[in-house]
Each structure stands twice: as C-alpha cells, then as structure tokens.
C-alpha cells in the first residue's frame, strides 16, 4: 500500500513538468479527496481540467487558475481528486 500523499506528489511532478514550468508563482489553496488505494506496482496518470481562470486584481501580469485533477490507475480507477488554486504568470 502506498500513502495517498505519495500518489499526490507523483501527480504534481507529472503536472509541473508538462504544464507549469516557468509560469507558476504560488500554490494558494486545495481540497484533496483520497478515493481509492494505490499499491506498489500500480501505474498512474493525471487528468487535469481547468475549472476557473481569472486575472489577479492586486497583481498585474498574474492570474488565478483552479483545476480539477484526477489521479487514475492503470485499470481506470480514480484514486485521488484534488482542486488546487494557483497563481501563475500571464
């Protein structure tokens, strides 16, 4: 059995490499729900959907983006769902 925090860390690593390199400023908020267990030997991927995007009122050139991220195992079973709010460079 792998801790849910480990699956979350791997998911963030996958997302940062693929979507947010050199654009992320701050991680502001998150709701996390562990749905099912992850075991040694499982393969995971992350499905990321933008649910909210707006310009920052107090910081020019920056925006706030909330996504819904689902971590899915090789058999299609969702193991984690989380909704981070990030400040990014526009």
Contact between 84 and 67 under an 8 Å Cβ cutoff? The reply is: yes
For residue range 26-59, what is the model confidence (pLDDT) as tens digits? 889 999 999 999 999 999 999 999 999 999 888 8
Q: Report the C-alpha gap between 21 and 19 in whole angstroms.
A: 6
**What is the arithmetic mean of pLDDT over 51-68?**
92
> What values do phi and psi take at 20, rounded to 5?
-120, 15
Q: Report the C-alpha gap between 21 and 14 in whole angstroms.
A: 11
Lowest-pLDDT range of 17-21, 64-68, 76-80 = 17-21
């Amino acid at each position: 059995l792998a801790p849910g925090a480990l699956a979350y860390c791997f998911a963030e690593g996958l997302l940062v490499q693929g979507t947010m390199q050199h654009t992320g400023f701050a991680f502001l908020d998150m709701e996390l729900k562990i749905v099912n267990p992850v075991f040694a030997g499982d393969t995971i991927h992350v499905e990321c959907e933008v649910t909210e995007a707006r310009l920052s009122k107090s910081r020019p050139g920056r925006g706030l983006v909330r996504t819904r991220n689902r971590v899915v195992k090789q058999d299609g079973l969702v193991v984690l769902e989380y909704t981070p709010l990030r400040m990014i460079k526009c």
